[in-house]
Each structure stands twice: as C-alpha cells, then as structure tokens.
Amino acid sequence: MTKLTQKNKRTALLCGISFLNLALFAIAGEMKDANGPGAATKNQIVIKDFHFTPQTLTVKSGEKITWINRDDEPHTVVSVEKQFKKSSALDTDQEFTTIAGAPGTYSYFCSVHPKMTGTIVVEK
C-alpha cells in the first residue's frame, strides 16, 4: 500500500508540474499578444492603414531596423538618400530588414504610395 501511495504522490506532482508549465505558456502567449498584431517592437516599423508607425524611429548605428506590412495592400520601403537597398513589394505580414548606417536623419517612402513617408534618425 505504501508503493501505491508513493505512486499517487508522484503522479500528482507530475500533474501539478504539467499544469504549471501549461499556465506559464498561456501567460507568455497573452503577454506576446498584448502588443497586438499592429503594435511595434524595438526598431520595428509597422505599416498599417497606409502609414508607417512610428513615423520617426531613432536607432543606434549598426542596429537592425525591420518594417512589417500589416496592410492588405503591398508596400515598399525606399530610402530617399539611398542609405539602404529598396525593399521588394511587401505583401501582408512580410518583413524587410536593414542595418542602420552612418549617423544622420534619413527619409524613406513607399514607392507604390508616395504620400507614405517616414524618418529614421541614426545616432552614434
């Protein structure tokens, strides 16, 4: 009977650990979703409703910058000062990433919708 009790305790402990793991995964998923599909993260620019958000992004030289298209329409990212290579047309949920170069203030736009503009400020 002692073996059965130890087996039940072990089973209960394993069930408790499994439940705790599931709860932690659920909490992590909620935290991830708290930003929502239209929210920006560090050095990320979201394209939504024919706007770049944030409109101005400040980064350090050498950091990655990522644009993600959350619109149903394709968009491009083109540097006015040719600081980075032009993106291809980004469909919904596609991303374009570049590395911030020399310090300065640089403008970019969407060649499909030229009224869509943004600014990158690169610091040392």
Check: CB of residue 48 under 8 Å from CB of residue 68: no
Q: Where do the domains of the chain lie?
A: 1-34, 44-123
Query: Tens digit of pLDDT per residue, the chain (124 long)?
Result: 556 576 667 666 555 555 544 444 445 444 343 444 545 578 999 999 999 999 999 999 999 999 999 999 999 999 999 999 999 999 999 999 999 999 999 999 999 999 999 999 999 9
- What's residue 1's pLDDT? 52
The CATH number of 44-123, from 2.60.40.420, 1.20.1080.10, 3.40.50.1000, 3.30.420.40, is 2.60.40.420
Q: What whole-number distance in Å separates Cα of residue 57 and Cα of residue 47? A: 13
Q: What whole-number distance in Å separates Cα of residue 79 and Cα of residue 38? A: 23
Query: What is the secondary structure of 67-97 as a DSSP string?
Result: EEE-SSS-B--EETT--SPPPPPB-TT-EEE
